[in-house]
Chains A and B, each alone.
Chain A
């Protein structure tokens, strides 16, 4: 076999290893803000559009947003960020099922921009993540993004 063919093959293997490693760094997911539900089910003036969830109820409203957790056994948390039309307080939590044990971290989003990262540095095995945001009157939560650590979609 020619020497240069060997080198190309070797290079290809190196690139495969590099990209395979990169692919396992994070598992990103983006959700529309309209996935979130208002906590106060009796509130009027909260609307769901393809562009997000809007609060025109006349008062601030908490919304809870679903977060998919594929890697349910990792103990080093996750990170999220959210985007809203005005500065909005959000937090991600990881608590047990009755809410009496766990951790959370909060951040205020920028206006019309993704927030800084909400990094949860620890997680319980198989406990759910939740994103909660406090929408001021007139605000729309447009989108949110999650990034799970590697080893997702591998049967756990």
Chain B
């Protein structure tokens, strides 16, 4: 469960408890009604408050002593926590100091989410039937993009395979700038036909597989995702 989910759950519990209390509060009889009789009743009950505290039961007094001791201990702990939340310069740290620093994200975690998503797209491509007419036309369009000025020399299209809404391109590139250039050129030339794209590393450091498509569903995550 992510911290956000935990926060949402806690919020739901708080709202639930608060709304139960509110319901009970709204449904409870008024402590004062709008009638003069109710006001009179309130004044009477107020005036009937004893001027001196009543005699306490020894057991109750003992219980109160324990509670006071607990409160004193909690106060002490609060002071300790407040002192822990002061940084080296003496300035107070707002909230929990652990929350003020972003959690460390390992590169593997970062890549894992993208890898999983692109693998889903690759799987959809494998499952898709072939519409020969569409596939041929689009493949020619893609090959034309690679022949356009700006791509040739920096990269090469090793293979293109189109199905019904998706195409798979195996691309080699000389450097990262060349790869960025490929993406720009593809958007520039076939972006209107195939507006969605995904890229994943290929067999070697200078090879990638690019998926292009014309349907957003093919590029949507399969499972619910974390925010």
Contact = CB atoms under 8 A, between A and B. Distances in A.
A56 B114 CA distance: 37
A75 interface: yes
Contact of A101 (B30, B31, B183, B200): B200
Given A101-B114, A101-B118, A102-B198, A155 B191 contact: no
A37 interface: no
Given A76-B227, A103-B118, A104-B187, A155 B22 contact: no
Contacts, number: 144
A13, A72, A73, A107: which has the most chain B beta carbons within 10 Å?
A73
Nearest to A75: B225
B74 interface: no
A91 to B, nearest CB: 5
20 contacts: A2-B34, A13-B22, A72-B105, A73-B226, A76-B221, A89-B192, A93-B197, A95-B114, A96-B114, A99-B183, A100-B179, A101-B201, A102-B199, A103-B114, A104-B198, A108-B192, A122-B219, A126-B105, A126-B109, A134-B187
Interface of B: 4, 15, 18, 22, 25-26, 30-32, 34, 99-103, 105, 109-111, 113-115, 117-118, 121, 176, 179-180, 183-184, 187-188, 191-192, 195-201, 208, 216, 219-221, 225-227
